[in-house]
Amino acid sequence: MGIEIERKYLLSNNEWRKQVRKQVLFQQGYLANNEKSSVRIRIEGDVANINIKSMTLGRSRSEFEYVIPLSDAEELMNTLCFKPIVKKTRYWVDFAGKCWEIDAFNEENQGLIVAEIELDAEDEVFEVPSWIGKEVTHLERYYNMCLREYPFSQWTDKEKEAHCIAVE
């Protein structure tokens, strides 16, 4: 069984942009979700996959991911995935021996930027960069599936102020 252990954070400033080593446009469409799991199609540049994740909220979740043909992914996104499709630019930043993935969301979620770090254990100790802000790992609204259902553009000003630091 695949297990994903990750933590999610908002950003406190834009200093991370000076350290970007790579960036790729991502598109994610959801085929299904229920109280136990979500099934998504993801296109990362010219690579596509299907992903199944448990709906567990927190640092650890079951995850299975398989490469599929790009043409199949495009067809699935266009015909079977719920709309809207989540679009974002993912940036990779190395810091203190760890890779941080920073997602700057587009379209319906424009203005939201979330940083993630994948870990080997829930209690793994790691150095936190100065550009990292509030942890949002346990806040469901920051999960991509939730952003599809309730995009950042629909959040009230109060919700944005309470949970997000604008850094664009």
Is 11 or 165 the better-scoring residue by pLDDT? 11
pLDDT tens for 80-110 read 999 999 999 999 999 999 999 999 999 999 9
Q: How high is the pLDDT of residue 162? A: 67
- Does the annotation mark 66 as catalytic? no
What tokens does 100 get?
């941080």
CATH code: domain 3-163 is: 2.40.320.10
State the amino acid at position 15 in one-letter form.
E
Nearest residue to 70 (alpha-carbon basis) of 44, 47, 40, 42: 47
Ordered by start, the domain boundaries in the chain are: 3-163
pTM of the model: 0.90
pLDDT at residue 82, rounded to an integer? 94
Q: Which one is catalytic: 30, 91, 142, 143?
A: 30
Residue 1 has pLDDT above 90, yes or no: no
37: β partners: 54
